[in-house]
Each structure stands twice: as C-alpha cells, then as structure tokens.
Structure 1
Amino acid sequence: MNTTSLIVTDAQPLIDLADVDELDTLLSLAPDIRILIPDMVRHALLSHIDIPGVPDALEWIRTNDGHGVSVQCTEEFEEFIVLKRRHSDEVERHQNEQAAGEILGRELARGTEAIVLLIGDAEAEHASVLSNLPERVVPMSTSAYLQGLRSKQRQFKVGALLQRVLALGRPTAS
C-alpha cells in the first residue's frame, strides 16, 4: 500500500497558497495523497478571518473535506481550549506545530510510507527542529513548494518531489 500524507504544520502555508491561488495543486500531487490539517491550524485560520487569503483557505478546507483533505482532531487543541477558558491571555505560541507533531506521530505509527510536512517559510529557518526526522518525513517550506510548481510546470508527482527534496539533503543545525 503506497501511502503519502501531507501535514500542514501552520496556517501560514495555507494562507500563502490561497493568496497565489495554488491550494488546489495540493490535491493534484498524487491520486492517493492525504492532506491532513490539525484542528489547531484550522482554529488559527478562524481566529484570523480578516487576513487576506484566510477566507479562501477556509472555503478550500470545507469544499475538500472528505475528498483528500481532512481536519484532524488533536489533544493539543483540546488542551488549548481548556487553557484558553481558564487563562485567556496565556496561550502558547507554537501549538500549531505541536498539533502537527501529534498527527505526525500517528502517521508514523500507522505506517505511512512518505510524509511531507508543509511548513511556513519562517519556521523552515529553524533547521534544528527539522534535523532529526525519520527518512520518510520530508519538511518542505511553502516557497520550496511553489518553486517546485514553477520549475516542473505543475506536472510533478509527490514521488518525484520527495526524491528531489531528499536529494537536496535535510537542513542541519549550525
């Protein structure tokens, strides 16, 4: 069973792709790719509805939910809701990434063969966080994704893209 999952680690990649009208390209990467969006990321989008691109990203999620896109429930989001009710001003900053990490753990345990972590460009600069991932997990920034789209004229497959990213090597901590 050849399975590939793409986990969106933050709201920014969805906003960026919506801004350039490229969200649908995620669905065309491979016929059986699963695009997993943590509930924490969806909440972040809902919390910033006034930002350009956010309404389009939310509409894309609604339209494609169950058709290659899935919003995944996480304990991280449940804890966030409880903490927010108790201490509305004390919300941790990196909860989107923690929720994505929770989903990554489930995908690894499930035996998913290849996992792409779609991360925001700012997060991609923190190489030490991404350096100890298993070989079947490939981090990809939004700009690298868009660059891949342009260079392959939208006719690439996940396997080829994963091979290309793996060939470039993983970022290492300096």
Structure 2
Amino acid sequence: MLTHRPAEERDLATICRFPQSEDELFFMFPKASYPLTPEQLRDAIAQRSDATVVELDGEAVAFADCYRREPGGPLFIGNAIVSPAARGRGVGRYLIETMIELAFSRHGAAEVHVSCFNGNAAGLLLYARLGFRPYAEEERQDRSGNRVALIHMQRIRIKERESR
C-alpha cells in the first residue's frame, strides 16, 4: 500500500541511494554531485517546499519537492525520484499525482510545471500520461558537456476534475 508524508531528516540517507548513476542524479537534481549526499539534499530541501516521501509498506521509496522560480510564479515539481526497487510499480505515478494535489489544494496553483531532460524517457512518458504538455525547451549541457534539452511541461488545473 502506498502512502505519503513530509520528508524527515531520517529519510535523507535512504533517498540519497535512489540515484544509481550520475545520469540518474542529473535527471533528478542537476546541480548535485554524484553520489548524492544528505548535505546536498538537505540544502535543496531548505530552498524548496513540500518535500514529500512516498512509502510502500512503510518503507521510503520515492521523493519529490516543489519550488517557484520567481515569487508568485508557477509552482514546479522537482527532484522527483523513485527507488530502483520500486520502479515499474506505479510509485512514480502516485508520487506525481500526490505532488499535483499538493500544488492545487495547498498552494491554490492554477497550473503545475515540471522540467524533464530529453534523455529521461520514463519521466517524459509519465508526465505525458498524467496530463502534462510541453510548452518550451531549453538547451543545457550534461556533465560531459554534451548538448541536452530540458523540456518544460505544464498541467493546467481543470476545476471539475481537480476540486474533488
């Protein structure tokens, strides 16, 4: 059974083990250095809101948080990642649906945004299935200096569906 709760200090070491490679960490948290450390994660959480952990049978298996690029601007879901052991089991969907609900109910957001690198096919497909649509691309560089595209996506709140 999946549940969610605010992230706690005791979760940080567990979350830091989720990214299995430098690429996975880049998709999750591009500014971090591999391997992810509790200090890096703690600093990111301190600058964001709604740090959330998903639990499967009482074990932390996913994490995400929210941020705004500018005061009063759209709310973004960021730093989303699922434990390798829990992938392919609906945990990512539950995580993102939970974060969408937080954005709409707690923050009164009219829309929610995500940004996803072009190499993260699983993330792009998940976001599309959950109703996110691309609206912009931004050229970036990966850790090796290769050109990559950061695809910005948004989901507009549909009053009837989102106000349950």
Q: Shorter-chain TM-score: which interval?
A: 0.3 to 0.5
TM-score by length of 1: 0.37
| Higher-strand-fraction structure | 2
| Structure number with higher relative contact order (C-alpha < 8 Å, ≥ 6 residues apart) | 1
| Higher-helix-fraction structure | 1
